[in-house]
Amino acid sequence: MAITFHIPGPLRVYCGGLQRVEINSSPATLREAFEALYRECPAVRDRLVTETGQLREHINIFVGTENIRFTGEFTTPLPAGAEISILPAVSGG
Amino acid sequence: MLGELLGPYRIVSKVGEGGMGVVYRARDEVLERDIAIKVLSSRTVAEKSAREFLLDEARAASALSHPNICTIHQVGEARGELYIVMELIEGEPLSQLIAKGSLPVESVLRYGVQVARALAHSHGRNIVHRDLKSSNVMVTPEGLVKVLDFGLARRLRSDLLDESLGTLDSLGWSGETIVESTGGLTGTLPYMSPEVLRGEEADHRSDIWALGVVLYEAASGQLPFRGRTAFETSSAILRELAPPLPSWIPAGLWAIVQRCLSKEPQQRYQRASEVQAALEAVQSAAVAAGGTSSEARGPLTIVHRGIRHLATKDGDVLLLVGTMKGAFLLRAHAERARWEVAGPYFHGQAIYSLAYDARAGRRRLWASTATFWGTFLRSSDDFGRTWTNPQEANVKFPTDCGVSLKNIWQICPGCPSEPDTMYCGVEPAALFESHDAGETWSLVRGLFNHPHRPRWMPGNGGLALHTIVLDPAKAERMYVAISAGGVYRTEDRGGTWEARNRGIRVEFQPEKYPEFGQCIHKMVLHAARPERLFLQNHAGLYRSDDCGDSWQSISNGVPSDFGFAMLMHPRDPDCVYILPIESGEFRCTPDGRLRVYRTRNSGASWEPLTRGLPQKGAYETVLRDAMTTDSLDPAGVYFGTRSGELFGSIDEGKNWKMILSGLPPVVCVKAVVVGEPRGARRNGSGQDARKSPASTPAKRNARKNKSRRGKG
């Protein structure tokens, strides 16, 4: 079953222009899902995470409607057919 | 016209104007709906041919009823005015969407399919559009496409259409039509097919060519065939191949565009429905495959559209202005009287550092860009039209360091003798180097592993290595300044580093003269006296005459010894500029007076330079990299403020003028003289020029003449 990534505007250019990227695989964790995404869209990695693998400060990732900062970050287990959304956080300045 | 009744239609507002007439928004008072109404101008309406042309247009288009074609409701005549009543479309022309920036491939496909459907429908009724272009394609907010203005369409007999699939010879171009449509012809040249340019008849395959042009334009933001003149454009259409689309465009779409743009009509798709099917196939493949296609890479370059770029010539002066929300480029002739502005580049991104590399024949701009999505170094070899877009962050800490990059504060091309060496200073405080002209970067471990590093403390702006000073006489030696860590010097190209802060006072520690931990704000050196350094400290102005081994205070008579920016004169090694700021929590210019201070005796005394700068209520801050000089004689001095104002002096600081206001907060300003500066300015300007820079026209002319002599 495919997992689906919802890609925010600034990153679509690194995903063939797509708003939605589907990958046919059943990763156990969010980290595996993102590794699969990075294989297809390598430029996304450095734009989402820092050198130390931390999610960038003002970016949020949701599995379904749950923010992964509260579910174990990249160790969050994934249900089959998960919908993963990447969104810039509410922030000003 | 506004408010008037035309038949049952009340004119509400003007929507646009074309070659044939004016388009209004109007209210159908009977059916109570809004419509668009195209009224032939009274000047044109007098011409019989134009009148007939309009009627032809309307008759042709009114035969078409399709969701992707703008519906013609009625053709009418009232008070001698001919008008066409059309569906009112709320939306934006595709040309405008393209001008705003690159369209996602998904949108290109979605719009392309709809245009192809519209053409398939009209071709099926023997109507050729003949003027398909991105400005004739409207896109509604819901993403529905409506093709407008079958302005050049005319009925083809069905027998000719069938024949045209085999040969074009039977279809003669009507000279009359060219005359009648001159208004549209110039605008549509880039969309004209080779056969039309050769004087042959347009058929439905000319529309397929135009669709190819529109798809190309939507995918890349640029027309496939361009020229400075109509002749050049025509020549490109007839003879040249369209440049390849950017690498991230799916190969399938590029193949479709190429086939639409075959020079010979018989090599193209023969029916619009075939283009539609091909686009739909790419569309479904793109969605189904998700990111699995190897095409899903990002663009290797960023093209800035919608900006009127600078046309830069040798001898021009450029100001590179980095702000919290993008970069701006300014250009002036060597006289520096008038500045042309381009930008913002990197809209919305913080530009902490800019640099220019003129070594080894380069004309390369460098910028660091920072957003939520990370910090990247980018370069441009065409003065900002296109910039590199690294797939991976090009400056990053090795994973074993356990820290991650926040910002790039300084980009520094290496010594001219080592034209491929570059450095950059970053936050958290570290130095990176490149030995392939900025292609790849690596951490300078010698400094990163320095035992002092764990005890460096972040200041208000973070813990940053913001200043890199090279010794032009000795490539092995360089200095860096860290807030708050102090000055460090290497004598072995970065292998080992020593703190060089003896004599520099700190206010914020019990020990006033520690070995390190100083909050240095800026440090400068003149190539003619490489052993001598000047330094603006968090509080205190200093000079070292022994390569930083010891420092003496030179805060002689300045209103505040706190400040950020410090600047070396391009020729005079005793001349330094600063911009004092009140220390403590206020951090603005003292007394609301914006004053640059200058020493011409290496710090023995300082003089205020205020003529032309606001001296009342000017509570400004000028950041450490926001002041610069050019290399001309007399030197131009420039600075930008946190309130977004940019000031300049073309006489070394004697007189100032505001160059620009209303910018986002200015973070850095760099001046560049493109190519070899004109000999005129270097050799020809003597004392007169120094004394009367922005003076009377007569004097300016005299200077100009002098310059001309100098040039000869």
Q: Measured between CB atoms, does B443 come within 8 Å of chain A?
A: no
pLDDT in tens, chain A (93 residues): 789 999 998 898 888 778 888 888 888 999 999 999 998 888 999 999 999 999 999 999 999 999 999 999 999 999 989 999 999 887 544
**A16 closest CB neighbour out of B288, B295, B372:** B295
Q: Which of the residues B253, B391, B392 would you substitute to probe the A interface, choosing the one with the greatest number of A C-beta atoms within 10 Å?
A: B391
Of A4, A13, A46, the CB nearest to B393: A46
Q: In the CATH scheme, what architecture does the domain B302-677 have? A: 7 Propeller (2.130)
d(CA B260, CA B131): 16
Cα–Cα distance, A30 to A55 (Å, whole number): 12
pLDDT reported for residue B329? 97
**What's the pLDDT at B478?**
97
Q: Which residue has the higher pLDDT, B172 or B260?
A: B260
**Ranges for all domains in chain B classified under CATH 2.130.10.10:** 302-677
* Residue in B with minimal Cα distance to A10: B373
| Sheet arrangement for strand B637-640 | B627-629, B637-640, B646-649, B657-660
Identify the closest residue of chain B to A91 by CA–CA distance.
B372
Q: Which two tokens stand for residue B392?
A: 């991976």
Distance from CA of A26 to the nearest CA of B (A): 15
Bridge-based pairing of strands B657-660 and B646-649 is antiparallel
pLDDT at B84: 83
Quick one: what percent of chain B has pLDDT higher than 70?
84
**What secondary structure does DSSP assign to B237-297, as a single string?**
HHHPPPPPPPTTS-HHHHHHHHHHT-SSGGGS-SSHHHHHHHHHHHHHHHHHHGGGSTT--
Q: What is the CA radius of gyration of chain B?
A: 32
**Residue A62's domain spans which residues?**
2-88
pLDDT higher at B432 or B386: B432
Q: Which residue of B has its CA nearest to A50?
A: B404
∠A47-B437-A49 over CA atoms, to 5°? 10
Residue A93 domain-assigned (yes or no): no
pLDDT at B187 over 50: no
Residue B401 touches chain A, beta carbons under 8 Å: yes
- Total domains, chain A: 1
Residue of B28, B34, B56, B131 marked catalytic: B131
Is A81 within 8 Å of chain B by CB?
A: no
pLDDT at position B460 is: 76
Secondary structure (3-state) at B95? helix
Q: Which of A20, A47, A49 would you mutate first to test chain B, the one with the most B CBs within 10 A? A: A47
Neighboring chain B residues of A43 at a CB cutoff of 8 Å: 297-298, 391-392
The C-alpha atoms of residue B457 and residue A55 are separated, in whole angstroms, by 25
**Residue B429 · residue B453 · CB < 8 Å:** yes
List the single range of B210-219, B295-304, B358-367 with lowest mean pLDDT. Answer: B295-304
- Extract the tokens encoding B148: 């407008």
The token pair that represents B129 in the structure block: 């559009």
Closest by alpha carbon to B327, among B276, B372, B378, B399? B378
Architecture of domain B93-299: Orthogonal Bundle (1.10)
Of the candidates B447, B424, B419, the one whose C-alpha atom is nearest the C-alpha of residue B435 is: B419
d(CA B321, CA B665): 10
In total, the C-beta contacts within 8 angstroms joining chain A to chain B are: 113
Q: CA nearest B191: which of B135, B131, B136?
A: B131
Q: Which residue of A10, A15, A59 is in closest CB contact with B291?
A: A15
Is A57 close to B292, i.e. CB distance below 8 A? no
Contact A42 B286 (CB under 8 A): no
Tens of pLDDT, residue by residue over B590-641, are 999 999 999 999 999 999 999 999 999 999 999 999 999 999 999 999 999 9
Whether the pLDDT of residue B436 is over 90: the answer is yes
Please indicate whether, in this complex, the C-beta atoms of B104 and A43 are within 8 angstroms of each other. no
Write out pLDDT tens, residues B76-104.
777 777 788 888 888 889 999 998 876 88
Distance from CA of B665 to the nearest CA of A (A): 11
pTM comes to 0.63
Name the token pair of B107: 């949108």
Residues of A in contact with B297 (CB under 8 A): 14, 41-43
Smallest CA–CA distance, residue A69 to chain B, in Å, is 17
State residue B57's pLDDT score. Answer: 67
Partner B contacted by A59 (CB < 8 A): yes
Return the amino acid letter for B489. Answer: R
Rounded to whole angstroms, the Cα distance separating B55 from B397 reads: 69
Quote the tokens at residue B99: 């001008």
Query: CB A51 to CB B403 under 8 A?
Result: yes
Nearest Cα to B173, choosing from B200, B146, B153, B134?
B200
Does residue B155 register a pLDDT over 50? no
Token pair 């506004």: residue: B2
Residue B708: pLDDT above 60? no
Contacts of A22 in chain B (CB under 8 A): 287-290
Contact B297 A17 (CB under 8 A): no
Instruction: Assess contact for B422 and B433: CB atoms under 8 A.
Output: yes
Comparing CA positions, the residue from B510, B503, B468 lying closest to residue B489 is B468
Percent of chain B scoring above 90 in pLDDT: 54
CA distance A5 to chain B (A): 9
> Quick one: CA dihedral B322, B328, B329, B330, positive or negative?
negative
CB atoms within 10 A of CB A87: 12
Identity of the residue numbered B249 = I
User: Around Cβ B37, how many Cβ atoms within 10 Å?
Assistant: 28
Q: Which residue of A has its CA nearest to B406?
A: A50
Report d(CA A43, CA A57) in Å as an integer.
18
CA-nearest residue of chain B to A57? Answer: B372
What is the structure's pLDDT at B50? 64
The CATH number for A10's domain is 3.10.20.30
**∠B307-B308-B310 over CA atoms, to 5°?**
120
Give the residue from A12, A14, A55 with the most B CB atoms within 10 Å of its CB, the best one to mutate: A14
pLDDT of amino acid B291: 40
Amino acid at B502: R
Compute CA distances B474 → B249, B415, B669, whole Å. Answer: 48, 9, 27
DSSP for B315-375, please give it: T-EEEEEEETTEEEEEEE-TT--S-EEEEEESTT-EEEEEEEE-GGG--EEEEEEEETTEE
Q: What is the ipTM of this complex?
A: 0.90
A41 found inside a domain: yes
Q: Do A41 and B104 touch (CB under 8 A)?
A: no
SS3 state at B122:
helix
Q: Per the structure block, which two tokens stand in for B311?
A: 């046309």
B339 in contact with chain A, both atoms CB, cutoff 8 A: no
Residue B468, judged by CB atoms within 10 A of its CB (0-12, 13-18, 19+), counts as buried
User: What superfamily does domain B5-87 belong to in CATH?
Assistant: Phosphorylase Kinase; domain 1 (3.30.200.20)
Minimum CA–CA partner of A58 in chain B: B372
Residue A36 one-letter amino acid: A
Q: What is the pLDDT of residues B363-409, one digit of tens each?
A: 999 999 999 999 999 999 989 988 888 888 999 999 889 999 999 99
Q: Does A25 touch chain B (CB under 8 A)?
A: no
Residues of chain B with CATH 1.10.510.10: 93-299
Helix (H) or strand (E) holding B139: strand B137-139
- How many angstroms separate the CA of residue A73 from the nearest CA in chain B? 18
CA distances from B306 to B62, B99, B344 (A): 36, 6, 10
Reply yes or no on whether B131 is catalytic: yes
Beta carbons of B388 and A42 less than 8 angstroms apart: no
Query: Does the pLDDT value for residue B183 go beyond 50?
Result: no
Asked whether residue A78 is domain-assigned, the answer is yes
- Cα angle at B522 between B517 and B528, to 5 degrees? 120
| A5 touches B at CB < 8 Å | yes
Give, rounded to a whole angstrom, the gap between the first and last alpha carbons of chain A: 41
Dihedral over alpha carbons B138, B142, B144, B145 (to 10 degrees): 20
Those residues whose C-beta lies under 8 Å from the C-beta of residue B340, and which sit 6 or more positions away, are B310, B330, B331, B332
Q: Is the pLDDT of residue B426 over 70?
A: yes
Best probe of the A interface among B97, B107, B372, B388, by most A CBs < 10 A, is B372
**Residue B30: what pLDDT?**
82
Give the three-state DSSP class for B436: coil
Count Cβ atoms below 10 Å from residue A85 Cβ, excluding itself: 16
Rounded Cα–Cα distance for residues B554 and B146 (Å): 71
Inter-chain touch B391–A42, beta carbons under 8 Å = yes
Whole-angstrom distance, CA of residue A2 vs CA of residue A21:
10
Residue A84 falls inside a structural domain? yes
Summarize pLDDT for B14-53 with one digit per residue, the tens: 887 765 678 889 988 888 888 988 887 665 555 666 667 6
Interface contact A14-B403, CB threshold 8 A: no
